[in-house]
Amino acid sequence: MFLGIDSSTQSLTGLLIDPATGQIVQQTSVNFGSELPQFGSPSGFIPGGKDGEVHGDPQMWLEALDLMLSRLSAVADLSKVVAIAGSGQQHGSVYLDATFNERLAALDAAGTLSGQLSPAFSRATSPIWMDTSTGAECAEITAAAGGDEMIRKISGSAAIERFTGPQIRRFFKTDPESYARTARVHLISSFLASVLAGKDAAIDPGDGSGMNLMDLASSDWSDLLLDATAPGLRAKLPAVAPTQSITGTIAPYFSKYGFSSSCKVARFTGDNPASLVGMGATAPGNIVISLGTSDTFFAAMEGPKTDPAGFGHVFGNPAGGFMSLICFRNGSLAREALRDELGVDWSAFDVEGLALTAPGNAGNRMLPFFGPEITPRGDFDGPVRKGDAEFESGANPPVQIRALLEGQFLNMRLHSQWIGVKADRIRLTGGASQNNGIARLVADIFQAPVERLAIGNSAALGAALIAAAAAGEDLAKLQAVFCTTAEDSRIEPDRSTAAVYDEAIVSYAGLLKSNPQLIS
- Contact status, residue 192 vs residue 268, Cβ threshold 8 Å: yes
Q: Is 87 in the site for ligand XUL (CB under 6 A)?
A: no
- Quick note: the x/- pattern for ligand XUL over 398-437, rule CB under 6 A, is ----------------------------------------
Among 364, 435, 479, 497, binds ligand ADP (CB under 6 A): 435
Q: In angstroms, what is the minimal distance from the CB of 196 to ligand ADP?
A: 20
The DSSP line for 476-509 is HHHHHHHSPBPTT--B---GGGHHHHHHHHHHHH
Among 162, 169, 402, 413, binds ligand XUL (CB under 6 A): 162
The DSSP line for 295-323 is EEEEEEESS----TTS--EEEE-TTSSEE
Could you tell me which of 296, 55, 265, 97 has the C-alpha nearest to residue 186? 97
Among 59, 89, 164, 317, binds ligand XUL (CB under 6 A): 89
Q: In angstroms, what is the minimal distance from the CB of 346 to ligand ADP?
A: 4
Could you tell me which of 286, 511, 508 has the C-alpha nearest to residue 419? 286
- Quick note: the x/- pattern for ligand ADP over 386-425, rule CB under 6 A, is ----------------------------------------
HSE value, Cβ hemisphere, 13 Å, CA-based, for 134? 32
Residues in the chain: 520
- Contact status, residue 250 vs residue 81, Cβ threshold 8 Å: no
**Which part of the chain contacts ligand XUL (CB under 6 A), choosing from 23-31, 85-93, 101-109, 436-444?**
85-93
Among 41, 90, 282, 433, binds ligand XUL (CB under 6 A): 90
Q: Quick one: 194 or 433, whose CB is closer to ligand ADP?
A: 433
Q: In angstroms, what is the minimal distance from the CB of 220 to ligand ADP?
A: 30
> Which parts of 442-488 are beta strand (E)?
450-452
The DSSP line for 79-141 is GG--EEEEEE-SS-EEEE-TTHHHHHHT--TTS-HHHHHGGGBSSSSEE-TT----HHHHHHH
Q: In angstroms, what is the minimal distance from the CB of 42 to ligand XUL?
A: 17
What is the amino acid identity at position 97?
Answer: D
**Which part of the chain contacts ligand ADP (CB under 6 A), choosing from 4-12, 113-121, 131-139, 359-367?**
4-12
Residue 416 interacting entry, from ligand ADP, ligand XUL, none, C-beta within 5 to 8 Å by type: none
Q: In angstroms, what is the minimal distance from the CB of 210 to ligand XUL?
A: 6
CA–CA distance, 362 with 260 (Å, rounded to integer): 61
In sequence order, the β-bridge partners of residue 485 are 453
Q: Is 165 in the site for ligand ADP (CB under 6 A)?
A: no
Could you tell me which of 9, 10, 14, 46 has the C-alpha nearest to residue 457? 14
Residue 272 interacting entry, from ligand ADP, ligand XUL, none, C-beta within 5 to 8 Å by type: ligand XUL
- Quick note: the x/- pattern for ligand ADP over 169-208, rule CB under 6 A, is ----------------------------------------
Sites for ligand XUL among residues 192-211 (CB under 6 A)? 210
Q: Is 244 in the site for ligand XUL (CB under 6 A)?
A: no
Residue 332 interacting entry, from ligand XUL, ligand ADP, none, C-beta within 5 to 8 Å by type: ligand ADP
Q: Is 41 in the site for ligand ADP (CB under 6 A)?
A: no
CA–CA distance, 164 with 231 (Å, rounded to integer): 15
Q: Is 87 in the site for ligand ADP (CB under 6 A)?
A: no
SS3 content of the chain, % helix, strand, coil (to 5): 40, 20, 40
CA–CA distance, 406 with 337 (Å, rounded to integer): 16
In sequence order, the β-bridge partners of residue 265 are 84, 248
Residue ranges in contact with ligand ADP by CB under 6 A: 8-11, 292-293, 332, 335-336, 346, 349, 430-432, 434-435
**Would you tell me which residues interact with ligand XUL (CB under 6 A)?**
8-9, 89-91, 129, 162, 210, 270-272, 292, 294, 296, 325, 327
